[in-house]
Amino acid sequence: MTALAFFVVTLIGSVGAGVLGALLGLGGGIIVIPLLTLGLGINIHYAIGASIVSVIATSSGAAATYVRDRITNLRVGMFLEMGTTVGAISGAYLANVIPTRALYIIFGVVLAYSGVIMFRKRKTEVPVDVPDSQMATKLRMHSSYYDQAIDKHVAYKVAGVFPALGLMYIAGVVSGLLGIGSGALKVPAMDIAMHLPIKVSSATSNFMIGVTAAASAGIYFERGDIQAIIAAPVAIGVLVGAMLGTRLLVRLRGSVIRQIFVLVLVFICIEMIGRGLGIALP
Amino acid sequence: MGNALSQSKNVDAHEGGDTKLARVAQLETIVSLVLRFGVILSLGVIAIGAILLFLVDPTHAVVPMSGSPTPQNPADILAAVGQLQPTAVIDVGLMLLIATPVIRVAVSVIAFLMEEDFVYTLVTLFVLGVLLLSFFLGRVGG
């Protein structure tokens, strides 16, 4: 395959990754890494480097719209970023130490767990019975947003502040280690632990994953893991895809998003565990 | 962002309150534009680099399939950009892209400060500090 052909194939695949990423608050890295390693035989370190770039691209490309639409809960996002960024630096360093295979398995297992829980809640549009949280009140995290799909202003309360922070550290480590946005860990953490409405979780996650990725990107870049010819089509493609994806998100109902999310999770889970066990999957 | 703003201060008829909220709202709009602009700018630079790579100077158009990564630092890259080396141009675009979330956080520090929300000013400063630290740590090793 010529360099140009590689560029074009990567570009097109990245657009798909971008659409899916913006839609689900995932950042596309989850699709880009298998595309590069399994599909195109690229060294995994370069794939991770390119993926980190795509994560930032998705977050910056999509976040501006969400923030303008006021769905993102900025306070929750910033507070949790304290955990993810520290985790991301830890993860980037650990990348040289931990056998990558073991991580794929751990990640796959965590994903499966999140998928099961989200599957059980899939009919719920807006969370009910949210427990009172003094911490969340003190930190002024409760908020509201306008849901275009159901044409209502939705007020919501926030809970589980410190458990979520702990989960975010782990999400950060995984992000720094695997070069993914860990939206798959962040969205369920906000959805389940903090009881945020799914759209707020997605939008806030989209905002957060870029910041988290930036924390490890510097380390990868200086290490030489971000190669221009690989990262360039990924960055362009994912950006374009993310802009398309955001148009769709505000129109879809929350439960549809959750169902798509679960399907994607299952696919990723099977692929990840397969990789960890050394099985090559199509 | 509007919701976060209006809920942060109790509705006590503060004389300068409205102007302050209006200014912060303006700042948030600016942030939105900065993000957009930063993304488009970095995308543009990357695209220019890609065009240079395939149309002008294909000698560097090699896909690295394996082998271990070689460390690179911004000073070398900027020097190479001066000579219009295509991959270096792309690298600059990538560096700009990596910088966008950092700038976004920096602006948030200012926004929270203007809102006189000191708890979140500190929270955001912490995040900014970690981000800047990561760029320095990259030089040292890892």
CA of B104: which chain A residue's CA is closest? A211
| A78-87, A160-169, A260-269, B107-116: segment of lowest average pLDDT | A260-269
Q: How open is the CA angle A128-A134-A135, to the nearest 5 degrees? A: 105
Q: What does the pLDDT read at residue B7?
A: 45
Smallest CA–CA distance, residue B55 to chain A, in Å, is 10
Q: What is the pLDDT of residue B14?
A: 44
Residue in B8, B86, B134 closest to A218 by CB: B134
* Chain A residues lying within 8 Å of B104, measured CB to CB: 60, 63, 210-211
B30 and A CB contact within 8 Å: no
Q: Which among B61, B97, B142 has the least Cβ separation from residue A229? A: B61
Can you give the C-alpha Rg of chain A in angstroms? 18
Q: How far apart are CA B142 and CA B124, in angstroms?
A: 26
Backbone angles phi, psi at B40, to 5 degrees: -65, -40
- Over 70: is that where the pLDDT of B25 sits? no
Q: Tell me the per-residue pLDDT of B57-107, one tens digit each, with 9 for 90 and over.
A: 776 666 776 656 667 777 777 777 777 778 888 889 999 999 988 998 998
Q: Tell me which residue in B66, B97, B124 faces A56 most closely, judged by beta carbons.
A: B97
Phi, psi of A146 (to 5 degrees): -95, 120
Contact assignment for A78 to B2 by CB distance below 8 Å: no
Q: Tell me the pLDDT tens digit for each residue of A61-91.
A: 665 565 555 677 888 889 999 999 999 999 8
User: And the tokens for A199?
Assistant: 């759209």
Let me know: does A257 contact A24? Beta carbons within 8 Å.
yes
Q: What is the DSSP letter of B62?
A: -
Tell me the three state secondary structure of residue A146: strand
ipTM: 0.77
Q: What is the mean pLDDT of residues A30-41?
A: 75
Give the A:B interface size as CB pairs under 8 Å. 199
**Inter-chain residue contact B101 with A225, CB threshold 8 Å:** no
A211/B101 touch (CB, cutoff 8 Å), yes or no = yes
Q: Residue B92: how many CA atoms within 13 Å on its side-chain side? A: 20
Query: Domain residues of chain B, as ranges?
Result: 18-61+74-140
- Quick one: pLDDT band at residue A11, thresholds 50, 70, 90? very high
